[in-house]
Amino acid sequence: MALMERETVIQVRGLKNSFGEQIIHDGLDLDVRRGEIIGVVGGSGTGKSVLMRSIIGLQTPDSGEVEVLGENMVGRNDDEAKNIRRRWGILFQNGALFSTLTVAENVEVPIREYFPFLKPPLLDEIASYKIAMSGLPANAGPKFPSELSGGMRKRAGLARALALDPELLFLDEPTAGLDPIGAAAFDELIRSLQKRLELTVFLITHDLDTLHEICDRVAVLADKKVIAVDTIPNLLALDHPWIQEYFNGPRGRAAAVSHEEQAGT
């Protein structure tokens, strides 16, 4: 089915967020469609993380509407949001793993929250499956986060994000801090998981390679709004200075050339 015809799974309308005098978003709109990987870009401090926090209900906006999977997210208390929270997984920027728990125990945290009656053997089995799915070796399960490399910690965070078989996956700068080979492998993992599990992925990134390699559309934050959401070729046709500088600057062009070479075009 063409992307345009698919169901909207995240709908943001007229979002306004501010901290004191500082207005971050003012009249921001965004639609995310089922099954797409949408990249969210914008200069530092344009409010990408605040947007994600507003969508998942961690930030109460000054005004505006946020719907996720048909449910209103604004002003819900924790209890009300519990049912909707289990339908998404989140990989925060630093992985946000509990340092005193092993990787397997970290993956089990959300499962225990929602299914407290599950017995340890089954919990361990589910955790092992999620760990393998995230491309970690089986012996990573009993390790503590401090014993893992940065790339492995991200995969462990991903395993936890996938613990409850989510429909939506939120990723905040997943390739930040990874070397280019590790970043490319992580991109590939996200793409293959998205296809296999039919995920919708909301991905904040500064990584131009990631945008070219795996994003179906890219949303650009500037001037306190989403100024455009489109494929990269269509964004390039727009005459906005930030978009031009970002995608057509030296790094943007290098990422585009590398993507074309890999695609054999």
Give the binding site for ligand ATP (CB under 6 A): 19, 24, 42, 44-50
Residue with Cβ nearer ligand ATP (49 or 210):
49
Distance (Å, whole) CA 150 – CA 141: 16
Instruction: Report in angstroms how near the CB of residue 174 gets to ligand ATP at its nearest.
Output: 13
- Please check whether residue 65 is in contact with residue 72, taking contact to mean a CB–CB distance below 8 angstroms: yes
Residue with Cβ nearer ligand ATP (20 or 120):
20
Residue with Cβ nearer ligand ATP (21 or 79):
21
Distance (Å, whole) CA 186 – CA 151: 8
Instruction: Report in angstroms how near the CB of residue 218 gets to ligand ATP at its nearest.
Output: 14
* DSSP assigned state of 196: H
Instruction: Report in angstroms how near the CB of residue 206 gets to ligand ATP at its nearest.
Output: 6
Residue with Cβ nearer ligand ATP (13 or 206):
206
Instruction: Report in angstroms how near the CB of residue 219 gets to ligand ATP at its nearest.
Output: 12
Distance (Å, whole) CA 127 – CA 122: 9
Instruction: Report in angstroms how near the CB of residue 62 gets to ligand ATP at its nearest.
Output: 13
Residue with Cβ nearer ligand ATP (35 or 57):
57
Instruction: Report in angstroms how near the CB of residue 203 gets to ligand ATP at its nearest.
Output: 12
3-state secondary structure string across 152-167: HHHHHHHHHHCCCCCC
Distance (Å, whole) CA 194 – CA 183: 16
Nearest residue to 163 (alpha-carbon basis) of 68, 113, 89, 81: 89
- Please check whether residue 151 is in contact with residue 186, taking contact to mean a CB–CB distance below 8 angstroms: yes
Neighbours of 83 (CB within 10 A): 11
* DSSP assigned state of 95: -
Residue with Cβ nearer ligand ATP (60 or 231):
60
- Please check whether residue 146 is in contact with residue 122, taking contact to mean a CB–CB distance below 8 angstroms: no
